[in-house]
Amino acid sequence: MRLNINVKELAAAVNGKILQGPSDIVIQQVQYDSRNIHNGAHSAFFALQGTYRKGNDFIHDAYYKGVRCFLAQAFPNVHGLEEATLILVEDSLDALQALAASHRERFSYPIIAITGSSGKTTVKEWLYHLLSGQVRVIRSPKSYNSQIGVALSLLELNEDCDVALIEAGISQPGEMERLEKMIRPTYGICTSFGRAHEENFKSREEQLNEKLKLFKGVQKTYYPSSIQLNPEIQESINAFPLSEKEFKTELSHLPYDDAGSRQNAVTVIGTIRKLFPDLLITPESIVSLPRLALRLETFEGINGCIIINDTYNLDLDALTQSLEYQLRVAEGRKRVVLLGLDKESETIRKKADAIVQQYAPDHYIVLKDGHEAPTNFKDAVILLKGSRQADMQRYVRTFRLKNHKTFVEIDLSHLKHNLDVYRSLLPASTKILAMVKAQSYGSGIEKVSAFLERNGIDYLGVAYADEGVELRKQGIQCPIVVMNTEEEGFEDCIHYQLEPAIYSFRQLDAFIHELILNQKTAFPIHLKIDTGMRRLGFEMQDIPRICEMIQAQPEVWVKGVYSHLADSDNRRDKRFTDHQISHFAHAASYLEERLQHKLVKHLSNSEGIINYPSAAFDMVRLGIGMYGITSHPQLYKRLKPVLSWYSSISQIKTIRKGESLGYSRTFIADKETRIATIPVGYADGFRRSLSNGKGVVIINGKKCPTVGRVCMDMIMVNITGVDCREGDRVEIIGKIQTIDQLAKAMDTIPYEVMTSISKRVHRVYLEE
């Protein structure tokens, strides 16, 4: 950003009141997340009041990082901010958007606003790809299309460009009017109209009308003719339909043949033809349209390093976003930036250097002309950034911890979406405890827990104390409940501030004894009551004795009380669960009355949240539901799958009629058969019970059944009639074969599938 305004001008733009500090400080950029700040000089920090995080809590952190100008709705604690300029505003988000709208007024070049249910980012990036080099273009970073993202995108506008591409997305009624007031677009593009977020609108008509409010003042709106708009709406937004038949020649060069890509290409090419008729769109430029990888890929690397793979391109705006992401992920660890240059990108070397130096990484190395990357870094966060022509994927392979062709993808953006869906089902006051036991259901406890904490989770739940210890060592600070506390873990609970679940008198007595030895008092515990699971927990008749024991022992303080629902997925007969809810409410009420303080009451699990809303109490325990897995049909449609599992073809062979294959010769070909060998087996979690056709994988959209026995490290599948070659991707869990389908074939449940995927299977984390 290059805002170049002083504090007085800033306060006027946002209708704020300067409470203290100088008004002549020059502001060049805004910040709202203290984790992204490296050097806060000439920055203004907006203390945004989110649903789960309060910006005021991070003002002092931003001040420590050099910020000296703050905008907030209140300043409850100004101690230590003596050198800061404080601006009081009515609403922090409104103020940020007002600044963005004011900044937008400084520029007269056309702004193209892009919205739609899907394809927004692809259309924006493809427009940029075809326009850049012929006109100066600025665009929204990555998928910045929210109320905050659009404001930040507009604040990037500067005088060194000819056109701006601004992406806008909504999920609730009323949001688009706010975005339109900021953007005031010259032209509009509607990419598609689907079912995303439809549950938040009264009807699909209302949803469409809300989206189209973005274009109420534009000169022209371009949209694919597949979207049906009535004449009145077309007239109100000056709509111009784009048909695929108009661009058959251009589409013949498109490297993708799926319907979505063709529609996006028509929208992009048609818009350019209409708005920039003199610009060239060559066959070469269409062939090179990228398959976007806008989500950062993060994985474990060699020597304890974390690798951020952002080798999509060397765009300078994207470089800034990648460096900010690295700063957030690092959390104090050393940062290494490896930048790959080819001959063409060498021209932006100085600008890239200047951007990287602003973030002051511990090591910055430019790789070019096939130079090898140093691999002696330890416990660092390494950002790999560069153009495809620089062959950056070669360096990605160098830094991978395990060169196993079989890997699991964890989509953290989908995890956040699912978390927000469950939050929408709960009362605003109800907390969420995210269960991350068993390596967070096989997805990686440290990475997932850190992501959940960043996204405002209230509690984490683990099975054993050693899991909680690892989280504390990784810097996790939120409360952690240990659900199955063993006596061997008591000392760790005390030392690392883990809250143990106590379910028996023997266990309670032993923990109190450990607290006495450590001279601890009022240590938080959670009491488990058995309301019908008949597994662990105090009986209902034990509760008076529990109260007497705790009131006599100052070493413990009951922070929470909980129980387990045994039949929460049963929507047909609710009597047993209603009985459990009633018993739990009675027990909790008795405990609160006798102990004379409010307890955190938690009973409901993932299925209980949707099926038994009365069981929400003060907190719920969310587990498998975070990963998009539920038996509730309506909720299933709203959730997104988090985990995918892939491999690739190692070798292809043709088996002649009468030949056998694999151990014990359980498969004998009755005709000539093409066989693909895939490097995944029962040691990876692909069960031996999936042998001989019981299991399938997906190759290039086709179901390929197993043949012969599943081996420890590989399987063989029938690919007769499937167009594929060695090295092609194999889907084990993904868009076609869901985890529920694989679990059914394995005669088990998704829980077991997830937790059975071996640690040797590489985990890759995706985040927008």
pLDDT of residue 344: 67
CATH classification of the domain holding 120:
3.40.1190.10
Task: Report pLDDT for 317.
Answer: 66
Average pLDDT across the chain, whole number: 89
Using CA atoms, how far residue 690 sits from 415, 646, 711, 748, in Å, is 29, 16, 10, 12
- Between 685 and 195, name the one with better pLDDT: 685
Q: What is residue 313's predicted lDDT score, i.e. its pLDDT? A: 65
CATH assignment at residue 59: 3.40.1390.10
| Whole-number pLDDT of residue 170 | 85
DSSP 484: S
Region 295-313: mean pLDDT is: 80
| Catalytic residue list contains 627 | no
Q: What are the DSSP calls for 538-603, one per residue?
A: B-GGGHHHHHHHHHT-TTEEEEEEE---SSTT--S--HHHHHHHHHHHHHHHHHHHHHTS--EEE-
176 within some domain: yes
Please check whether residue 653 lies inside any domain of the structure: yes
Is the separation of the CB atoms in 508 and 549 below 8 Å? yes
- Give domain status of residue 596, yes or no: yes
pLDDT at 174 over 80: yes
- Residue where a domain stops, chosen among 638, 673, 693: 638
Distances (CA, A) of 191 to 175, 222, 268, 409: 18, 8, 9, 28
Could you tell me if 337 and 418 lie in one domain? no
pLDDT attached to residue 221: 93
For 127, the domain range is 107-287
Confidence check: pLDDT of 325 > 90:
no
Per-residue confidence band for 653, with pLDDT thresholds at 50, 70 and 90: very high
Q: Considering the domain boundaries, does residue 415 fall inside one?
A: yes
The residue from 120, 124, 385, 437 that is catalytic is 437
Distance CA 187, CA 181 (A): 14
Residue 98 lies in a domain: no
Establish if 293 belongs to a structural domain.
Answer: no
- Integer Cα distance of 154 and 148 in angstroms: 10
- Torsional sign, CA 223, 228, 234, 237: negative
> How confident is the model over 251-279, as pLDDT tens digits?
888 887 777 888 999 999 999 999 999 99
Q: What is the CA radius of gyration of the chain?
A: 29
**Domain final residue pick, 260, 287, 314:** 287
pLDDT band at 289 (very low <50, low <70, confident <90, very high): confident
Residue 276's CB is within 10 A of a number of other CB atoms, namely: 16
| Residue 564: partners with Cβ closer than 8 Å, 6 or more residues away | 528, 531, 533, 535, 537, 603, 605
Q: What is the pLDDT of residue 375?
A: 80
Q: Among this protein's residues, is 598 annotated catalytic?
A: no
The tally of domains found in the chain comes to 5
Domain boundary among 591, 610, 638: 638
36-59 mean pLDDT: 86
Q: What is the pLDDT of residue 349?
A: 83
Query: Both 476 and 366 in a single domain?
Result: no
Output the domain CATH number for residue 695.
2.40.37.10
Q: What is the pLDDT of residue 51?
A: 67
Q: What is the mean pLDDT of residues 416-437?
A: 92
Instruction: Tell me: do 115 and 264 sit in the same domain.
Output: yes
pLDDT category of residue 387 using cuts at 50, 70 and 90: low
Q: How confident is the model at residue 43 (pLDDT cuts 50, 70, 90)?
A: very high
β-bridge mates for residue 167, sequence order: 114
Give me the pLDDT at residue 52, please.
65
Residue 536 belongs to a domain with what CATH number? 3.20.20.10
- Whether residue 292 lies inside any domain: the answer is no
- Please determine, for residue 415, whether its predicted confidence score (pLDDT) is greater than 70: yes
Query: Stretch 33-40: mean pLDDT, rounded?
Result: 83
CATH number of the domain within which 351 lies: 3.90.190.20
Residues 8-30, mean pLDDT to the nearest whole number: 93
What is the tens place of the pLDDT at every residue in 717-741?
999 999 999 989 999 999 999 999 9
Q: What is the pLDDT of residues 533-554, one digit of tens each?
A: 888 899 999 999 999 999 989 9
Q: Are 490 and 467 in contact (CB under 8 A)?
A: no
**Residue 675 confidence (pLDDT) above 70:** yes
For residue 392, name the pLDDT band (cuts at 50, 70, 90): confident
Pairwise CA distance, residues 664 & 169, whole Å: 57
Judged against a pLDDT cut of 80, whether residue 179 lies above it is answered with yes
Assess whether 472 and 553 both reside in one domain. Answer: yes
- Judge if 720 and 648 occupy the same domain: yes
Both 481 and 614 in a single domain?
A: yes
> Among the options 343, 663, 744, 759, which is catalytic?
663
| In the predicted structure, residue 164 carries a pLDDT above the cut 90 | yes
337 plus 268 within the same structural domain: no
The per-residue pLDDT for 345 is 67
pLDDT confidence bin for 75, thresholds 50/70/90: very high
**CB-CB neighbours of 495 under 10 Å:** 12
Say if residue 194 is in the same domain as residue 250: yes
In this model, does residue 376 exceed pLDDT 90?
A: no
- Mean pLDDT (whole number) for 12-17: 95
Is the pLDDT score of 616 beyond 90?
yes
Instruction: Please indicate whether residue 38 or residue 718 has the higher confidence score (pLDDT).
Output: 718
pLDDT tens per residue, range 568-615: 989 889 999 999 999 999 999 999 999 999 999 999 999 999 999 999
Task: Name the pLDDT band for 444 (thresholds 50, 70, 90).
Answer: confident
Among 47-51, 190-194, 207-211, 613-617, which range has the highest average pLDDT?
613-617
Is 92 a residue whose pLDDT tops 60? yes
Percentage, residues of the chain above pLDDT 90 = 60
H or E element that contains 739: helix 739-745
548, 427: one domain: yes
142, 318 Cβ separation under 8 angstroms:
yes
17 in helix, strand or coil?
Answer: strand
pLDDT at 402: 63
Q: Do the beta carbons of residue 295 and residue 413 sit within 8 Å?
A: yes
In a domain, 297, yes or no: no
- The pLDDT tens digits of the residues spanning 397-409 come to 778 766 668 899 9
Domain identity same for 686 and 744: yes
Question: Same structural domain for residues 650 and 634?
Answer: no
Q: Please tell me whether residues 675 and 579 are part of one structural domain.
A: no
Whether residue 230 is predicted with pLDDT greater than 70 in this model: the reply is: yes
